[in-house]
Structure 1
Amino acid sequence: MDTIWLGGAEWLAVLRIGLGLWWLESWRHKDKKGWFERGTGIAWAADVAGKHRWNAVRSGFDAVVAPRPRTMAYVVVYAELALGLGLVAGFLTPIALVGGLLLNVLYFTLMIHDWAEQGQNAMMALISVVAFFGMGWQTWSLDSAIGLFA
């Protein structure tokens, strides 16, 4: 593989780190007080799910998220932080990539009517797939340094 400036493995690391920074920005800009104390994030998602065109999304939200809004707020917020840190540091990278892909698919599905959200989540999911199948943890990662997923 011919590349400019960096090798292929390094470019995959750049892609992985960039995705991690994207997740960290998603975590950073959340109003944590609103999410944790007032339930704003889950209330917003409940409103979106309640109007969703697919019954499976409405019933799935009602079964999984609605009964435990406080717990789910913590799960969402800290999952984004964990994904960001894991991808930037390259620690448990394949797990972070698959977890991020699943979260993006959930976000994409919930926000199926919002073109901006679809674009962001589709691109993040694509990066996850490319970094996973390209084994983006081979360079500039803790996984590589300690011999995980070799």
Structure 2
Amino acid sequence: MVLQACTEMVMPMTCSNESMFPPSTFDYKDFSEQCMKKYGVMPRPHWITTEFGGYRFKQVIKRFGSNIIFSNGMQDPWSRGGVLKNISASIIALVTEKGAHHVDFRSATKDDPDWLVEQRKQEVEIIQRWIDEYHVDLKQG
């Protein structure tokens, strides 16, 4: 257990006895007691959805966010919860069918598939455009 699991990212993970994984349950009372004992804090299970808009995330981030790339590979089991469509001109979703969790963050190799090379190229081009726009804005005062 890490502090952030108690304060910001309460993510109860459970498993039934009908899967290949061992059954597990989540007891919020027990979890809360562990957080208090280890870190002296009580969990805030709704903090992240309250802070960042929950189901209204796109509406909220559009008002205060900019220059964000949400890179999603659809082979990532978490991808269905990701941002899969552009929210604004500067909050961009790059989606690839073949990618997985953070694969575009790994070091490039000579064996990288073409789709991954293209994904990274798009990311660099977008970021370079933002940097160029910033420098133009600086010169204009």
TM-score, structure 1 length as denominator? 0.27
Task: Identify which of structures 1 and 2 has the higher relative contact order when contacts are C-alpha pairs closer than 8 Å and 6+ apart.
Answer: 1
User: Is the radius of gyration larger for structure 1 or structure 2?
Assistant: 2
Considering fraction of residues, name the structure with more strand.
Answer: 2
Considering fraction of residues, name the structure with more helix.
Answer: 1
